[in-house]
Amino acid sequence: MSKGFVVLLALVVLPLWGCASSTPSAAPAVSSPARPAFPSARRVAIVATGESHFAVVENSAEPGRTFDEVLKWNQYGPMLRPLAVLVHQGINWLVGLDRAAGTTPDVGAVSPSLIVTNALARALHASGRFEEIRALAREPLGAERRGVDAIARVTVPQWGIVRVRAGDPDLLSAFADVRAQLTVPETGVIVWETSQDVTAPDRLPLASFKDRRFTGGQLLDLLERAGQRLASELLYARSDGQ
């Protein structure tokens, strides 16, 4: 391999270095066990927080696999492999960006975390296990803050469309990676937290998602589902059916 090629690879990679860190990965399915303070939380405020990033995640094996094949025959192959990984991630990030531009739904100024927060609040209220559930777009202040036993903070770091089945055509689903953390406002102690990768049950070709209204509907349904999923795990963590 010529020095020129290495320099070219570096030139391609370095501007995308920051992009590589945004390579999506499903949120780990973490759900911490309930702690003693948790069952007594009867009045809960749920707050939507954080930024949400829309993405079309293909998880493609190419061009990385081809890089590996090429590097296998090169004496500097093992040394260059990390570079190949970055180039692969950079190229796929650009492809994903292009696809995201073609599929981003028209959901206006709606915040994914707010939709999940509202769905979570409705599900918890319907469970009949709480005295009061309040969904908020900002942190509660003053008397409002003192009036709750716990504050649940909901974030949706990433949402969009992900390839879930390889084939011809590939099949994709709406997805959202969501996190929730329940804290006691007086002490700031975290009594429960979870990260959930939520995926829509429908699997469709990419062409179906070119219809932005349809995509918008799929994503809104998925965010509702994400709120119900969080509620399910939160209720499950409350031991003894309280």
Partner 1 sequence: MTRVPGASRRALGVVAVVLIAGGCASTSGLDIGYPAASANRAMLGSVAPLRIGISPVVDRRLDAVRIGSAAKGGADIVTSRPVPEIVHDALATEIGKNGHAVVTTDADAILAAEVDEFWLDIVPGYPEIQYVGKVAIALAVVNAHTGERLLARRYFGIRRQQAGPDAPDAAREVMDTALARTIHDLATDRELVAALAGLGGGASAPKSARQ
Contacts of residue 198, defined as CB under 8 A and 6 or more positions apart, other chains included, come to: 175, 176, 177, 178, 222, 225, 226, 229
Name the β-bridge partners of 55: 160
**CB-based burial of residue 120 (10 Å sphere; 0-12 exposed, 13-18 middle, 19+ buried)?**
buried
Instruction: Tell me which amino acid residue 79 is.
Output: M
Q: Which is nearer to partner 1, 49 or 177 (CB)?
A: 177
- Residue placing its CB nearer to partner 1 in the complex, 76 or 236: 236
Q: Quick one: 49 or 225, whose CB is closer to partner 1?
A: 225
Residue number with CB closer to partner 1 (52 or 67): 67
Q: Which is nearer to partner 1, 9 or 140 (CB)?
A: 9
Minimum CB separation of residue 141 from partner 1 in Å reads: 29
Shortest Cβ distance from residue 147 to partner 1 (Å)? Answer: 22
Report how far residue 185's alpha carbon sits from residue 209's, in angstroms, rounded to the nearest whole number. 42
CB of 93 to partner 1, least distance (A): 13
Please, which residues bridge with residue 57 across strands?
A: 162
Residues near partner 1 (CB under 8 A) are 25-26, 28-29, 59-62, 64-65, 68, 85, 88, 126-129, 162-166, 175, 197-199, 201, 229, 231-233, 235-242
Min separation Cβ 143 and partner 1, Å: 27
Tokens linked to 133: 């559930």
Query: Alpha carbon 91 to chain centroid distance?
Result: 21
State in angstroms the smallest separation of the CB of 165 from partner 1.
5
**How far is 207 from 227, CA to CA, in rounded Å?**
27
**Among 25, 27, 51, residue whose Cα is nearest residue 178:** 27
